[in-house]
Structure 1
Amino acid sequence: MDEHPNRDPFVMSKGMKFPKDDHFITGKLRAALRENRYEAKEAQCVLRLVRDEDTVIELGAGIGFMSTLVATRRNIKNVFAFEANPALIPYIESVHSANRLSNAHVTHGLLGKRNGSTNFYVRENLLASSMDPHEDDTEANTQKVKVDVLNASHVFKEIQPTILIADIEGAEAALLPHLDLTGLRGAMIELHPQHIGPEGVNAVFRAMMDAGLAYYSRGSTHKVVCFRRAW
């Protein structure tokens, strides 16, 4: 029997519901959500970009925060989120369900140059999981799993997104220059300069410029960079 029958089963953040689950929503994360600090810079950028009727693609879905934000704050057609961490998929789906979203979709997998598979390291801190092995990974604290890699060009052609959201832990420099981004009206990229270096940062900006998108300073903050086709 529930010892706290009247306890709210959700953490509220910016009007969104996040099911309380100590495995995913830890103390610090719970506080950041409640105080509207979680993904604050990213949310500022995205809400300056996304308009009604947009189709959004998100690479790196996390706990489902950004996909839920755009689906609740804007009358978008759809948001398609891709997440490599298998442990997060059920939680993201529960967030979408809690917020009664029919236009938010999540796929387990990541995008790459061609179809295939790759290793992914699921860690005790789920949000620290990545494709890169760490020196302190052990069988006790890390699970190595195979994740499907989907052909990014085919996915973009099928979805035809107008807005891109990407937080893919350094893969942005390798992936974005190989995509046809000309159909985008805007993009929010979280850069990881510690992984990609100045050459990688320049590669991301060049890919945006080649697609006709310009750096949008009003939506950008430090490593969170915003691009728009028109201001």
Structure 2
Amino acid sequence: MIKTPRGLLFPRDTDVVKPRIASALRQGMYEAKEGNAVLRVIQPGDVVMELGGGIGFISTLVAKKSPAAEVHVFEANSALAAYIGRVHEVNEVENVTVHHALLGKRKGTAEFHVRGNFLASSVNADNADGVTRTETVEVVNANQQTKAIKPTVLVCDIEGNEAELLPEMDLSSLRAAVIELHPQWIGPEGVNAVFGALMGAGLAYYPKLSTQKVVTFRRAWPLK
């Protein structure tokens, strides 16, 4: 078992948790910027929607170390979705629901390209080399899901798909969002699309909790 400085536990599975990830977990460096921003924006009773669950770090951190009421995780990679379930089990997490699905404009299916580096897997075949297999994944309607879940905080790390998905979503229920951008894939137009979607929903860029590619948005904040 791998234990982080915050006391989170991660089962040893070399197919998912590569040595570099395991080392970052032990040192408290894994997704540190994103995790710190998320914990600082969450308030009691928040409903968190996470797009791209990875190894379950953010959802477990939120469940164990924040006053969020519930968390909904959407993860397309079947192996990661299963591993996230194991992480939640060993950490005795009870307020997180894992959805093995993609969000999209309409219901259906999509091809999801799994890479040797699991965390670089995405629906975009050209984003990176090393595709090991392609899965057919269920696509659920994004607006129907947000209407049902009514998230107040959005966490998004979906390997370049943020530029296509976020402008199509109803983000009106959000109070805050933490997005990991992938400018190397989405370019300046994609970055502008992400900012435009969140600003159009009434949120503003919050530099205090933004670092490089991890950008935070809030509906309001103290000026001091």
TM-score (structure 1 length as normaliser) = 0.91
The aligned amino acid for 2:196 is: R
Distance 2:116 2:185 in 1: 22
Cα 1:32–1:136 shift into 2, 3 Å? closer
Paired residues for 1:7-156 under 5 Å: 9-134=1-126, 137=130, 142-156=132-146
Matched residue of 2:99: which SS?
Answer: strand
Identity of aligned residues (%): 53
The answer as to whether partners of 1:114 and 1:150 remain within 8 angstroms in 2 is: yes
Matched residue of 1:111: which SS?
Answer: strand
Distance 2:5 2:117 in 1: 21
> How far apart are 1:199 and its partner, in Å?
1.2
The answer as to whether partners of 1:11 and 1:20 remain within 8 angstroms in 2 is: no
Distance 1:222 1:125 in 2: 22
Give unmatched runs, 5+ long, in structure 2: none
Matched residue of 2:4: which SS?
Answer: strand
The answer as to whether partners of 2:2 and 2:25 remain within 8 angstroms in 1 is: no
Cα 1:70–1:167 shift into 2, 3 Å? same
Q: Give the total of aligned pairs.
A: 220
The answer as to whether partners of 1:220 and 1:226 remain within 8 angstroms in 2 is: yes
The answer as to whether partners of 2:121 and 2:159 remain within 8 angstroms in 1 is: no
The aligned amino acid for 2:7 is: G
Distance 1:30 1:11 in 2: 9
Distance 2:207 2:132 in 1: 39
> How far apart are 1:127 and its partner, in Å?
2.0
The aligned amino acid for 2:83 is: Y
> How far apart are 1:23 and its partner, in Å?
1.5
Aligned equivalent of 1:188 = 178
> How far apart are 1:13 and its partner, in Å?
4.3
TM-score (structure 2 length as normaliser) = 0.94
The aligned amino acid for 1:83 is: E
